[in-house]
Amino acid sequence: MISAFRMILFLLWLPILSYSSEGQPFAKGVHRILFLGNSITYNGQYVNDVIASLRIKYPKSTYEFINVGLPSETVSGLSEPNHAEGKFPRPDLHERLQRVLNQTRPDLVFACYGMNDGIYMTFDSSRFQSFQSGIHWLHTEVEKSGAKIVHLTPPVYDEERAGVRGYAGVLDDYSEWLMTQRQVLNWKVIDIHSPMKSYVSIKKKENPDFFLAEDGVHPGALGHWLMAREILKYMMGKDSEELTRAETFEAFVDTDKSKELLMLITRQQEILKNAWLSSTGHQRPGLPAGMPLNEAKQQSVLLEKQIHKLLQSR
């Protein structure tokens, strides 16, 4: 039974939880949407699930999505000793954010940090403070650019598969702190951590060997969908019940064109992502060089024609 106090809090949060305007998933004036994050965002599957779902549910929309997630990156500026066997320290978002904002000029930013920010060690107050300071800095810089920002709590960490005991609790703390900023500072925050944690807990009762991330860190297709689902719930509000029932992207969009659509969007985003990362610059070695941005945009237009044709044929 929900207490009167919790009901009051829920009602107070309603304006914060929904970002959409009538008939559209985003507020008026939002056209270019940027995704920032680490390797999970760079992988991009949850981003692509979000894009494909919105293209189907809002076929007349003309949003532009830019993914510039960077593997290994932190917002805390921290890096563990001998990271990547001593080949390079973790890249720091502070080094590139201004270039990214200047070039992409987003209206709205989704930012997902935390997984790397405790640098895979047990809880330490100074590391926690570095994460908090980095998130506050990120929030301020994005707002100074004229864009709005929505923070995502970090995905779950599977200690049984990844091996660092206590790190799941670190991410619990980081997520809880982010969520409190909804009340304290009226920030927009989407909780992906708790739903993923609950899902794993339920599934492990059925099968103790269940996992979302084979290495304990990087989720597979199901984990990415669970992330996308929470973002879509936030955007779409009234369709949340439908989303809750959908355990896969295909189940939610319910069309025989879904796999082909997702494939085209994935290809489009892969081209644009690498081009934007090369154009804006970064200090993470080992990534593929993107084609020149103008050439990437031309390739994107060709793929967009195929996407449009596919959506029209539904």
Q: Choose among 56, 53, 66: nearest CA to 108.
A: 66
Give tens-digit pLDDT for 263-294.
999 999 999 999 999 999 999 999 999 999 99
| Listed residue (39, 98, 37) closest to 66, CA to CA | 37
d(CA 247, CA 97): 34
Q: C-alpha angle with apex 72: 69 to 73, nearest 5 degrees?
A: 60
CATH number at residue 159: 3.40.50.1110
Give tens-digit pLDDT for 198-240: 999 999 999 999 999 999 999 999 999 999 999 999 988 765 6
| SS3 category, 26 | coil
Weakly modelled stretches of the chain, pLDDT under 50:
1-22
Number of domains in the chain: 1
What would the pLDDT profile of 34-51 be if each residue is shown by its tens digit? Answer: 999 999 999 999 999 999
**Helices then strands, each counted (H, E), the chain:** 13, 5
Residue 238 pLDDT: 60
290 in a structural domain:
no
Q: Is residue 275 part of a domain?
A: no
Q: How much is the pTM?
A: 0.91
**For residues 33 and 107, is the Cβ–Cβ distance under 8 A?**
yes
> In this structure, is residue 271 part of a structural domain?
no
pLDDT at 5: 35
Domain-embedded: residue 279:
no
Whether 218 is covered by a domain: the verdict is yes
Q: Give the model's pLDDT for residue 59.
A: 85
Give the residue numbers spanning the domain of 43: 28-254
SS3 at position 93: helix
pLDDT for position 303: 97
For the record, the structure tokens of 127 come out as 């590391």
Q: Return the ∠ at Cα 311 (arms to 308 and 314), rounded to 5°.
A: 150
Whether residue 286 is contained in a domain is answered as no
Would residue 171 count as lying in a domain?
yes
Nearest to 143 by CA among 109, 180, 194: 109
Distance from chain centroid for Cα 116: 14
Query: Are the C-beta atoms of residues 262 and 249 closer than 8 Å to each other?
Result: yes
60 within domain boundaries:
yes
Find tokens 């923070």 and name the residue: 151
